[in-house]
Amino acid sequence: MSLIEVLPAEGYRRLRLNRPEKRNALSPELLRELSLQLHQAQEEPNVRVLVIEGAGPAFCAGADLAYLHQLTQFTPMENLADSELLMRVLWQLYTYPKPTIAKVHGPAIAGGCGLASACDIIVAARNGARFGYSEVRLGFVPALVGVLLVHKIGEQRARRLLLTAELISAEEAERLGLVGYVVEDEQLDAFVEELARRLASYSTASLQLTKAILSAVQSMPPESALHYAAGLNVLARTTEEFRIGVEAFLKGKSS
């Protein structure tokens, strides 16, 4: 059985975490397979948007508890290699050149919450979705996921979630800026499909360049960021999609 189900859709792709009996807990095998599927989807021009979801009742419950027990027997170098695997997958998703949507229908905990946070937009089911970083309860550290959370919602709000390890509702996660949309549980599938199709209808080049700006400018001084953005503006204006879009807009204004 594949740990990542590939579910084709028109203009976008659904990648479903497929360990429902383990609440889609992260394992090295799942992470490697997810990374491979991310790479393959990136290379396919017909895949313009990516949706990450989970099979069964949970989105992702974080690390596999049995595997966590194994980690206690690992050497420092083995633990470093394991940590770097998760780091690479989170960074691959965070810097992905195509829009990414996390479709969260159930609990997204610890590393699972980090996986969702690495996506551009989280769409959450109002009643089913829950979010939390439980690492400190286990004597663990929310290190990698914490870095992404700070970028996502800011330091003060991240301190609350990471230090208290509290489980929050979809609506509270939206209030804190973690979740982009909260929808009724029964409307989640249709909402995500409509959103993915809408994003897939936009200019591929525009979306990729916009994501490049978002990934790069946070670490730049304002003046450097503006120079970088000006350069991307030049690139965008040389694309065929820009020319077609402007002509269509002007034609619509004149009609």
Residues with a known catalytic role: 135
Residue 66: alpha-carbon gap to chain centroid = 25
Query: 């709000």: which residue's tokens?
Result: 157
Q: Residue 236's closest CA among 204, 200, 206, 199? A: 206
Strand partners for 6: 15
- Cβ(58)–Cβ(64) under 8 Å? no
Q: Residue 41's closest CA among 28, 51, 31, 29? A: 51
Sheet holding 167-169, edge to edge: 107-109, 130-132, 167-169
Which helix (H) or strand (E) segment is 6 a member of?
strand 4-9
Buried b (16+ CB within 10 A) or exposed e, 171-186: ebbbebebbbebbeee
Alpha-carbon distance of 65 to 22, in angstroms, equals: 9
CA angle 166-167-170, nearest 5°?
135
Alpha-carbon distance of 37 to 49, in angstroms, equals: 13
Residue 246 CB contacts under 8 Å (≥ 6 apart), including other chains: none
DSSP code of residue 10: T
Residue 215 CB contacts under 8 Å (≥ 6 apart), including other chains: 94, 95
